[in-house]
Each structure stands twice: as structure tokens, then as C-alpha cells.
Amino acid sequence: MKYFFYILVAIALSSCSKEVEPGSTGGPENGGPAKPNGVINAALFEQINLDYPGLEKAKALYEADMYYDAVSAILTYYRLRSGITNTSVSLLNVTATEDDKSKANYALDNNRFFVNNYYEDGATKQPYSLTKDGAINWLFEPAGADNEYQKQLHRHQWFVPQAKVYRVSKDERYIQSWISVYNDWLKNNPMPASGTNTTTWWQLQVAERVLGQTQLFDYYKNSVNFTPEWFSEFMVHFAEHADFLIRYPYSEGNILIAQASALAFAGVLFPEFKNASTWMETGFETLGTEVQKQFLDDGMHYELDFSYHISAIADFYEVMKLADANKHIVGPVAADFNQYLHKAAQVVMHFTYPNYFTNPSNGYLVPGFNDTRQSSWTRSVLNRNYTRYNEMFPQDMELLYMGTYGQRGTKPSTAPKAFTTSGYYVLRNGWDRLSTMLILSNNYSENSMAVWSHNQPDNGTFELYHKGRNFFPDAGVYAYTGDGDNTDRLWYRQTKVHNTMTLGGQNIANAKGKSLAVVSNGSTEIIATENQGYNNLKHRRYVFFVDKKFFVLVDEGIGTGTGTVNLNFNLCEGDSEVIISTDKNGAHTAFADGNNILVRTFGNGSLTTVPFNGKVSYTPGVSFDRKAYSVNMIKNDNQTVRYITVLYPGEQAGTIPVTAAFTQPFRDSGVDLQVSVDGIAYNLTCNL
């Protein structure tokens, strides 16, 4: 009966819509009912250092076998604690966006938990319900979804939005939901006895939960529902998570950065734990090593995925900010990572399309190469990152220009930009919406052939932006993993669904891109690259940016390989607006807004053009149909197949007359050709 009475009291308290006054615990020291030691998780005393300054009262109560009272005293200490700053949380100025409110409220509705990019109803962003037979089904996967859903589900992405809405509304339903759901998750997803798994207790999932919990604690700690009982349970499992990350360090990459960041946050923000110094030192030491290993000398993150590139910079920024605000805790273990990150921030600038400045209602702002999730990088998200870069590098006036939407600072250069180590090249004529920009990807990657790699086997591919339209969007990443044989993922990784050369339509075998030239020749800018895509065929591609107005591609297939060599083009969406002309070996667009492009290909042999059905994905799990085609030439042994392609933006692109021909035979040291566009002849040369 006594325990039943306490349950009734707890239920009554949980219906309140107010926080506990600072210093109040709801325990016996404040006139509340005494509770037995068994209602709290005594494992907390194995993890908390009771000799830490400020915990003297808790230690005395513990030594008097008054465990509940000791936990109450520890909770009071945390509610009143000062001098330690969580830089990810601002309790004085909490903002809950409409998106936060949506996620928070859906979680209250039939356990509809937000999982990034997965919706039962995309129009309303309604998540799937995990309710099954009156319980939460933590094994749920939407029909047709890849296993990324299960991975992201266990990162608890709706918890922090709930906490923000709680702080704004003081509605106790949100913390009640969190406690109930997290308790259920702990019950159904215990830590493995040894090792990791690929979903619930994988390093990235654990790291994301730790980082989220450092925020949840501050948002919720003064709630009447944040009782000593729950406090002890939460803290025990928080330490369990951090210790897990110590035991099982990930091997490399963005996951290791996330893991180290989580440990740094855990150690700095909870120095009262016995293992806090180990968490903190391991986190900072790992980050200090990885910032030098993971960013190439041209600034690009070595996984060659723009999404992870931006996220990695953000992780280092957040940890530096945390260390700066808590110098008395961090001491000498903190490192200044800025010296390694400046080039990385500049990569973001050069990858950004000009429509970033115009707040577009449609269109994506960054290229979609490899596993980049273009839909994630909205204007506001990009700007938030530029604001960070302004803080990190206040002397960089070009980054200031980006961070202020061009209102301050210096407009970045329009000179050719080459990231030769990672294999990215940028040609542009301006930074406003009407500008033209081409970005070429010719990566060097040992692992890009593997299905798990974030880098795709697409060397030589490009995107071309003009007046707000991307005419050759990358195929994108539809799925991180697929069914048992990765069918969905493999389709989007095919070389032929990118804007590059193939032999017999087969995937390239190697992605070891090489830079040959980045030069200006009068009014023409030139990029030249090559890749030994097949053991018996090398693809060399020249890109001429003529008068900073239009582009000419020269593609050469060099080697002993024989068969059909394909030059593949995958265009933007537009069922009636995109017209493929097989008789002219090309295509053009006829958009009503007058923003169009002409594509024409010529060769040193007989050409045939074959359309095929293309697809493009800007968001995982979502695809759009588009038109695609290949221009084919038969290659005999030791013959070099040579193509010239004119890419000419114009209002009435389909009516512009174009011719092109090589003026010299193949030479390994360069190329010579003449192109005529709308009656004007251009002699183009590149010497390597």
C-alpha cells in the first residue's frame, strides 16, 4: 500500500505544468515524503565522484545509507551548478521552431517518431507510427525503406525538439513522453554484453544519443518530472553510453569524429563522473589526430562527400566552442583546430551555387556528388555554417561575404578553382542568380568501387548551373543501403547514370583521378583531367569555358580497350521541356522561362545516339524521372576515340547552329579543335 501511495503522489505531481523551484528536490529535505533507497538506481554511486567539490552533502548522506536523499542532493547540486557552460544550449533564449513543434507533437501522437528523410506523409512531414499492439515496436521499418531508417531511429532525433518545445511551453507532457519512451527504449534495447551491432548500439547511434542527452539534461533538469528516481536512471545510462564509446572506438571517418565529439562533450559537461577525464581526454586527443588525417591538403574531407565535409567542420567548431567556454575544465587537452579547417571552409564556399544568394523557392544549392544529401543543405542551414566560419576566420573577407549574403566582405573570385588532391574543379562567371557555374568531379579514391563507399564510381562527371537551373544534376544517393543485394543503391552508383564516359555501359573499375591542367588561355579557361577508369581504357576530359559564357568538352578514350565507348548525359527533369535529338547527337531544353541549354556532340568516327530512362534523387528514398542518352562510338584496338561536346546556354537554345571538329590528330601532349557557335568560330587549344 505504501508503494501504491507513492505512485499516486508521482502521478499527481506529473500532471503539474511547472518546474521545481531551484534548490527543491521534492525529497525529504524539502518536506516531501521519505522514499526508500530502492526507488533509485544505486549504480549512480559507482559512477559519480562524491569527492567532487559541491557534493559533500551527497557524500554524507550516502555514507549514512540514505541513498535516495543522496541522489536528491546530487540533483539539487546540478540544478544550482554554475561555471560549466553547455554551448549547444541557451536556456535564456530558447527558440522552438515550427519544425520543432511538429516533431514534438507528432511524437505524442501514436508514437510518430521523427526519423530524418522518412515520412509516412511527405506533404505534412508526418512520421510513421511505431505503435503495434499497444506498445512501441522498435524493430519497425517502413515498407521499401533501406536499413538507414533503423539506424537513424535509434539516434532519437525527436527528443531534443520535444525538449525545446517543453522549455517554451512548460507543458509537462513532453518530458513525460521522453521519460516513458526512453525507458521503453532502454528496456527493449539493452547494451550488448560485448561489442557493437549495426543499429541500436553502433558507435554513431551512441554518439548521437550522448550529444542529445547533454542538451536534454539542461532543458529538463528543473521539471517536477525530473525526479531523483529518473535522474539516477538517466545518469547511469548516460555514463554507460560514454563508457561504451571508450571501449569501442570506430576505425575512421565521420563516425569517429562524432564519437570523439560526444566524448569531449560528456567529459567537459559532467566532470563529476569518475570517468569524465578519460572521456574528455580521449575525445580531444582523437579529434586532434583526426583533424589532420581527415582533411586533405586541398581542404576537402577525405570521404569526398560534401554532406560529411560540412558536418565534420561543424563538429570541430562545436567542440572548440565548448572548450573555449570551459577552459577551467578542459585545461591543456583542448586543441585549436582552426589551422586545419580554413581550407575546408573555403571548399564550402566554392561548392555553393549562386542561387544561395537569392533565397530560391526551388532548386538545390550545392552539387549532389557521391552520397551528398542535397535537400539537407537549405539556405538557412548553409548560412548557419557560414556564420560559424565567420566566427572561426574573421579575417577571411570572402567567407564574410557568404555569411552576410553579399552585404559585407569581398565577393569571391571567379577564377578557375582546382582542388587537385580530392579531384574537384570549379568554373564560374559570377556569384549572382544569373551566373553560370560548372563543377567537375574526378576523384582519387581507393575505395570508391565498394558499395559502402560514400564516393561513387563516376569520375569525370559534372553539374552545370545557369540562371538558377541545374541542367545536369548528379544522380544523387537514393539509398545508403538497399535490400540484400543493394539493388537501389547500386542503380544510382552506376557510372552510366552520371555525365561521363563508359566502355560498353559498364562501371569503371578504378577511380584514381589525375589533374593535367588548370589554365587560362586568353578569354578561355581550361581544366584537363584524366582517369584510368578501366585497365585498358583511360578517359581524358578537357573542359573549355569560352568567354565565360559556354562550355566545350573534349573527351578522349585512350588505350587498347575495344567495343562501344559511351559518352553519357543525364539531364534535368522536364518531360516535354527536355528534347533529345538522336539525329543531331544531342539535346536541348525548351523551358518557358527562357533559361535553356543546347547540347551537341561531334566525334572522330561514326556516332549513334541512344536515349535511356534516367532517374535523379535529391533526398534518400525519393526519385524523379528524367531523360538521359549516350553518344556511342565503336573503338578498335589502339584507336583513340575522340568526342567534342558543346554546352551552350541560351534563350532559344534549340535553334542555334553549332559545328565542331578537331584540327589536329590525337596527341598525348594536348588538343586542338575549332568550334563554331551561331556563326562565330572559336579556335581552342590546350597544351599539357
Annotated catalytic residue within 78, 119, 308, 492: 308
Nearest-10 crossing angle of helices 67-80, 56-63: 170
Residue among 339, 343, 340, 254 at smallest CA distance from 298: 343
Listing DSSP states for 240-251 in one string gives HHHHHHHHS---
Q: Is 582 exposed, middle or buried (0-12, 13-18, 19+ CB in 10 A)?
A: middle
Run of H or E including 537: strand 537-546
- In the numeric block, the cell 596527341 is attached to 667
Determine the Cα–Cα distance for residues 332 and 339; give it in Å rounded to an integer.
17
Nearest-10 crossing angle of helices 338-351, 379-392: 150
228 Cα distance to chain centroid: 38
Listing DSSP states for 631-687 in one string gives EEEEE-TTPPEEEEEEEEEETTGGG--EEEEESS--BTTEEEEEEEETTEEEEEEEE
- Please check whether residue 370 is in contact with residue 454, taking contact to mean a CB–CB distance below 8 angstroms: yes
CB contact set of 217 (below 8 Å; sequence gap of 6+): 78, 234, 238
CB contact set of 564 (below 8 Å; sequence gap of 6+): 503, 504, 505, 632, 633, 634, 635
Tell me, yes or no, if 308 is annotated catalytic: yes
CB contact set of 587 (below 8 Å; sequence gap of 6+): 569, 571, 578, 579, 580, 581, 599, 627, 629
- In the numeric block, the cell 520535444 is attached to 162
Phi, psi of 450 (to 5 degrees): -70, 140
- Listed as own residue / partner, the contacts of 102-110 with beta carbons closer than 8 Å and 24 or more positions apart are 103/127, 103/157, 103/158, 103/161, 103/162, 104/158, 104/161, 104/162, 104/164, 104/165, 104/166, 104/174, 105/165, 106/158, 107/158, 107/162, 107/177, 107/181, 108/173, 108/174, 108/177
Determine the Cα–Cα distance for residues 654 and 61; give it in Å rounded to an integer.
84
Residues designated as active site: 308
